[in-house]
Amino acid sequence: MTTSSVRIVAGLVPLLVSVCALISVVHAQRGPCAAADRQVKGSPAFYTGYDLNALNDHDLEMYAAGYVDALQAATVIGVTETCRQALQKCVMGRSSSELAQRVRRYLREHPNRWDGQSHALLYNALFSQCLNQLP
């Protein structure tokens, strides 16, 4: 296991905790994961956009796939099942390579957000456009 792989695995536990906080912070979001008037702040993430951008393709694929996998258990920490299913629909059938490509494209199109926390960047890159289109 490489050093960067160990960092990725070590980052998955706090990532799951951050997912719950992130979903409720995205108060402008419409659809099944809308936070209404609730706002919960999460702890700083292990990675920023700068760190994500510096990962090689394989490591970014693993990190993005781990983020999506963590969302599958998000109901344990308070995410509604409706929201979890909506998030799953956004990425169902996608390969880890496609997830990483979405993240790279988002970072390329939003260089002003590279100092942002990885959980917020990943959420926006992987889910925000899809969730805005759900009923």
Any idea what the Cα angle at residue 29 is, between residues 85 and 135, rounded to 5°? 55
From CA 84, how far away is CA 73, in angstroms rounded?
A: 9
pLDDT tens digits, residue range 94-128? 999 999 999 999 999 999 999 998 888 888 888 87
* Residues 103 and 126 sit within 8 Å (Cβ to Cβ): yes
Any idea where the domains of the chain sit in the sequence? 3-133
pLDDT tens digits, residue range 4-51? 554 544 454 444 434 444 433 333 345 667 655 444 455 666 889 999
